[in-house]
Amino acid sequence: MTDSSQQTPAEDETELSSLRKRVAELELALGEHQALESSFRGFMLLRSEGVVRYDGEPKLPIDWPARRQAEFLLDHVVVAECNHAYARLYGLERAEQMVGASMCGNMAGTREEKIARLCDFVRAGYRVADFEILDVDRRGRKMWTSNTIIGVIEKRHLIYAWGLQRDITAEKEKLLTLQQSESEVQRRAEQLAGEVALQKQFAENVLRSIADGVFTIDARHRITSWNPGAEAITGLSGSDVIGRPCGEVLHSDWCDDRPLCDSLGCPADRACATRRPSPRIEVTPSYRDGRKVVMSLSAAPLLDERGEPAGAVCVFRDVSRERELLTSIQRANEAKSLFLANMSHEIRTPMNAILGFSQLLLKDRALGPTQRQHMDTIVRSGQHLLAVINDILDMSKIEAGRVELSVAAFHLRSLVSDMAAIFRLRTNAKGLLFRVEIAENLPFVVRGDGDKLRQIFSNLLGNAIKFTERGHVIWRLRGERVSDGAWRLLVDVEDTGLGIPAADLGRIFDAFFQTAAGVRTGGGAGLGLAISRELVRLMGGTISVDSEPGKGSCFHVAVRLEEGDAALATGIDPARRVVGIRPGQAAFRVLVVGEAGDGPELLVPMLDAVGFETRQVAEQGEVLPVFEEWAAHAVFVDVTARAPRGGAVVERVKASTRGKRTPVVALVGRDNQAERQRAVAAGADDVVGVPLRRPEVFEKLWACLGVEYVYLRSDATGRSGAGGPLTLLSLRDILAAAPAVLTDGLRDATTAGDFDRMLLLIDRITVYEPRAGVALRALADGFEYQQLLDTLPPRGET
């Protein structure tokens, strides 16, 4: 230091000015420092994170052991200053409220836990970034903070420390959830991997243990796996075949570097193209040892993660033995059917003798009552046996594939009317109501096999009557045009009989199947429905049944028929004009109930004109007494709006004993469905629409009474009876015109029971008169010898 008293004034002046300069410099530095400090504090206040300065006295020597330093920090270091954001972080309003609080005052945990955390800070050299601490605010809420703390060290002492703090609770929670879901995903993945492994093991075990051959191929048809089943069938091991094209390995007859193929192409390719398993095919590959094996094979596609085919899995089975068995069964069956079909003639000849002659014997007046009874039994048993034999032969012919459709044009409605008349006799005999419901759209002339159709209907109607003791049998027919020139014929046969148990419904169309009730009722071999089903199939149709035991059954048939040409049709044309009743028949009495209107008023003269006997009674008149006393054969009742009590009349007539056996036809408004339904509900057997149509009226009477008409012939040159209904009477007329040598010959052959000669002569007669030929053939086939003889003109008459 210089002694100022010994200095010269100049020297003093110099020193002073240097001091002034130093002071000015210091002031400047201080100003700068203050400016810096105030801008720092401004920065501190503005920050959204907490900014804090920790300080404590005395200053902490950093050479102390870490734990001691940590304890010092805990006990002596406090918040010296901070911003509002720091105070708010811990739930206080203002920064000043935090000042003086312990540095670790907000930290959660025990003293030891806090010391451990502070030791980390000490060991990091008082410099930590993003140091995560679990804190508790003044309201007791736990929160995670991220801390960046930098200590200021001078002369190996901690002077103070700056800290930056941020609440990271939300981020931490998000992270935690993320970690949790990550671990959940991990757990699920592990579980799935376990399941996949299990399934793989399962699949491997299945593949190892099944007898079927299973192999996989890649997109280039190279074998990638080959199970023991495949080894056993082909005799080739996995190591022989893996990596080779399957076509080469399996040596299929059709394979050309492809897998087992059929004429339609490779099944694996097909499966890949359609993304679906290919249908089973049979192939016959041969092996190097020359063995040929029939294999049933199918393939399914293997798809990659994009759903694209990456290969296929093929399953095959050796079916050589099954094929052999099936072929031999088929051959045996065909031989049996062929034998039975050929036996037809052999069986029918002795039947001819039994039935034909017993019928002739019945005519013998010399027979006593007991003998007559015995003969009757022989005829009935013979007829039953014949029916069963015929069914068996028909079935055999079907099985041998020897049944073909014989298609021709015919009058469908005539066929129905013919059959209705026959079956009505049977329903009448059993006291059943029989109703034929013919829809207006039923075609008149169609092309199809009329005889087979007749056989189907006969079986269904016969069964309905056989299995019904009371109630009704309804035969419903309607047509549906399917295209130009084609019809679908829809037929129901409904009865109120025994019904069929649900368990039997699935087998009812099987050959020889009969329900328990069917067996009890007897009179059949369980073949009728099987034959019907085959015939319906032959016609491209379907047959089904609905039934409830105790309530009844309804059989449904649908077959396809073609539009027919009326000019070529057989059977009578119902639309032809009726001009009279053929002589030689008993009188037909028709009772008409109702007075006014174009129904009853027109009906009576229409019927009178052709020769029916008629009586007309008002609906409120004495209907029943007249009906009973006069013994009417048929009753027409007006039930249209003009005759409000018509329905009640129908009910009364049908309730009487005689009424049950007598056809009652209701006159209803044409196309009036409600009236039609009311009439049917009241018990009417049939309905006819008003305004009346002549052909329809005569057709109904023909169907229910079997009356034979005389027609106004349009073809005057035609032979007698050619267009009329084919009945015994008309047949007799036709045959009267046939050459006597044929009819006499037929008479002789019939009385001699010479079946072959009968058929020969009938064939000859057919050349002259086809319709008579068909009828005679039917009589001969049914062994109706007496009827056949009755139709022949007396010897030498022609």
Interacting residues with ligand ADP (CB under 6 A): 459, 463-464, 467, 495, 497-500, 508, 514-515, 517-518, 524-530, 553
Residue 474 vs 664, nearer CB to ligand ADP:
474
Question: Strand ranges (DSSP E) for 582-628?
Answer: 589-593, 613-617
For the CB of residue 526, give the shortest distance to ligand ADP in the complex, in Å. 4
In the beta sheet, which residues pair with residue 480? Answer: 488
From the list 316, 310, 287, 306, the residue with the least C-alpha distance to 221 is 310
> Helix %, strand %, coil % for the chain, to 5?
50, 25, 30
399, 402, 403, 405: CA torsion to nearest 10: 140
Amino acid at 751: T
- Element spanning 142, H or E: strand 142-154
CB 153 within 8 A of CB 126: yes
From the list 434, 517, 436, 335, the residue with the least C-alpha distance to 700 is 436
For the CB of residue 533, give the shortest distance to ligand ADP in the complex, in Å. 9
Return the CA Rg of the chain: 55
CB 554 within 8 A of CB 494: yes
User: CB count, 10 Å around CB of 741?
Assistant: 11
- Element spanning 316, H or E: strand 309-318
For the CB of residue 559, give the shortest distance to ligand ADP in the complex, in Å. 18
Residue 423 vs 612, nearer CB to ligand ADP:
423
For the CB of residue 350, give the shortest distance to ligand ADP in the complex, in Å. 22
172, 177, 182, 185: CA torsion to nearest 10: 180
> How many Å apart are CA 126 and CA 161, to the nearest integer?
8
Residue 516 vs 566, nearer CB to ligand ADP:
516
Residue 467 vs 588, nearer CB to ligand ADP:
467
For the CB of residue 553, give the shortest distance to ligand ADP in the complex, in Å. 4
Residue 387 vs 710, nearer CB to ligand ADP:
387
175: three-class secondary structure by DSSP: helix
CB 74 within 8 A of CB 102: yes
Residue 50 vs 524, nearer CB to ligand ADP:
524
For the CB of residue 692, give the shortest distance to ligand ADP in the complex, in Å. 35
Residue 468 vs 743, nearer CB to ligand ADP:
468
For the CB of residue 455, give the shortest distance to ligand ADP in the complex, in Å. 11
Residue 290 vs 522, nearer CB to ligand ADP:
522
For the CB of residue 340, give the shortest distance to ligand ADP in the complex, in Å. 17
Residue 524 vs 659, nearer CB to ligand ADP:
524
For the CB of residue 638, give the shortest distance to ligand ADP in the complex, in Å. 34
Residue 398 vs 772, nearer CB to ligand ADP:
398
Residue 337 vs 463, nearer CB to ligand ADP:
463
For the CB of residue 530, give the shortest distance to ligand ADP in the complex, in Å. 6
The interaxial angle of helices 450-466 and 412-430, nearest 10 deg, is 20
For the CB of residue 394, give the shortest distance to ligand ADP in the complex, in Å. 11
Long-range contact list for 697-701, CB < 8 A, 24+ apart?
697/603, 697/606, 697/607, 698/574, 698/578, 698/610, 699/413, 699/417, 699/574, 700/665, 701/588, 701/590, 701/607, 701/612, 701/634
φ, ψ of residue 779 to 5 degrees: the values are -65, -40
Residue 495 vs 619, nearer CB to ligand ADP:
495
For the CB of residue 683, give the shortest distance to ligand ADP in the complex, in Å. 21
CB 161 within 8 A of CB 150: yes
Residue 500 vs 779, nearer CB to ligand ADP:
500
For the CB of residue 524, give the shortest distance to ligand ADP in the complex, in Å. 2
> How many Å apart are CA 771 and CA 131, to the nearest integer?
116
CB 553 within 8 A of CB 599: no
Residue 497 vs 706, nearer CB to ligand ADP:
497
For the CB of residue 544, give the shortest distance to ligand ADP in the complex, in Å. 12
Question: Strand ranges (DSSP E) for 365-503?
Answer: 408-411, 433-438, 445-448, 472-483, 486-495
For the CB of residue 541, give the shortest distance to ligand ADP in the complex, in Å. 17
User: CB count, 10 Å around CB of 454?
Assistant: 15
The tokens of 81 are what? 């200053």
Residue 132 vs 548, nearer CB to ligand ADP:
548
Residue 296, Cβ density class (10 Å: 0-12 exposed, 13-18 middle, ≥19 buried): middle
Question: Which string of b and e fits 97-107 if b means at least 16 CB within 10 Å?
Answer: bbeebbbbbbb
For the CB of residue 384, give the shortest distance to ligand ADP in the complex, in Å. 10
CB 445 within 8 A of CB 475: no
For the CB of residue 215, give the shortest distance to ligand ADP in the complex, in Å. 49
> How many Å apart are CA 283 and CA 260, to the nearest integer?
7
Residue 384 vs 719, nearer CB to ligand ADP:
384
CB 320 within 8 A of CB 294: yes
From the list 780, 792, 788, 775, the residue with the least C-alpha distance to 352 is 780
Amino acid at 128: V
Amino acid at 222: R
Residue 467 vs 785, nearer CB to ligand ADP:
467
